[in-house]
Amino acid sequence: MPAMVVTVDAQAAPAEKVAQAAGMSRLSPRARRTLRRRKLTQELARKGEAELRRSVRVFQQRYLVKSKRLELVVGGSIAIGDPLIDTRNLDAGLLFHINQSWAIGATGFYAFAKPNDAFENIQRDFGLFPERSLLQAGGFGEVQFSPIFGKFSSFGMAVLQMDVYVIGAVGAVRTTIKTDPQPAWQVGAGLRIHALRALTLSFEIRDMMMLEKFQTGDRLMQHWFGGIKIGLWIPPTFEYKHQR
């Protein structure tokens, strides 16, 4: 059987380009401009689509799951709004997140409180020696409710989850007026940022209220605190059981 020989014309491709150029030359100037714009638009569209695919990132609705997990928190707070007493607290607590919105737990504080210069000036200048009610320590059982959660971009490097929560707590506090624990309660609000999968950073405002027994009678005392807490999730990791 004779062999079949296929000859490829090396001039075919250049000839095709010459034919295209000849076809372009037969077009009117307006048609040539329209064709060039169309090709340029298609090229820009292809580049834009590729750039869009590189820039768009998809994240699950919730960055992490709080439900059925423990959160161990430690931090500190400082009294705000008291012109005569400087109070700084060392705070700690353990929370159990029932679901994504509700959490219950126990928190406590140890206070470092002392009169400031304004208090001592009043004693020295006016000869007044008022009773001093300085916080010492306290513990509370509290409930948290998170009605709002969301995500935000951290300088374009990562997407962080956050939730806003309100606080209600009941417990007991010890002061320098009465060393025996006395009833107290708290209300407040906070912002929790899930910095890492196993770590949180919380900013809180709390109003601690109690009835203090002075020699002149009972008075409602309010202590406003602003604080920062670091939380550690227990267990530190989680697994999705359902489709995200």
Query: Is the CATH code 2.40.160.20 the one for domain 69-234?
Result: yes
In angstroms, the CA 205 to CA 194 distance is: 18
The alpha-carbon radius of gyration of the chain (Å, integer) is 35
Contacts for 9 with CB less than 8 Å, ≥ 6 apart: 15
pLDDT at 54 (0 to 100): 62
- Considering the entire predicted model, what is its pTM? 0.69
Single out the residue of 163, 148, 169, 146 nearest to residue 91, CA to CA.
Answer: 169
Alpha helices in the chain (DSSP H): 12-26, 29-55, 117-126
pLDDT at 215 (0 to 100): 74
Tell me the per-residue pLDDT of 205-223, one tens digit each, with 9 for 90 and over. Answer: 999 999 988 777 788 889 9
Tell me the per-residue pLDDT of 176-198, one tens digit each, with 9 for 90 and over. Answer: 887 789 999 999 999 999 888 78
Tell me the per-residue pLDDT of 40-88, one tens digit each, with 9 for 90 and over. Answer: 788 877 777 767 666 555 555 566 788 889 999 999 999 997 777 889 9
Percent of the chain having pLDDT more than 90? 39
Tell me the per-residue pLDDT of 113-138, one tens digit each, with 9 for 90 and over. Answer: 888 777 677 666 666 666 778 899 99
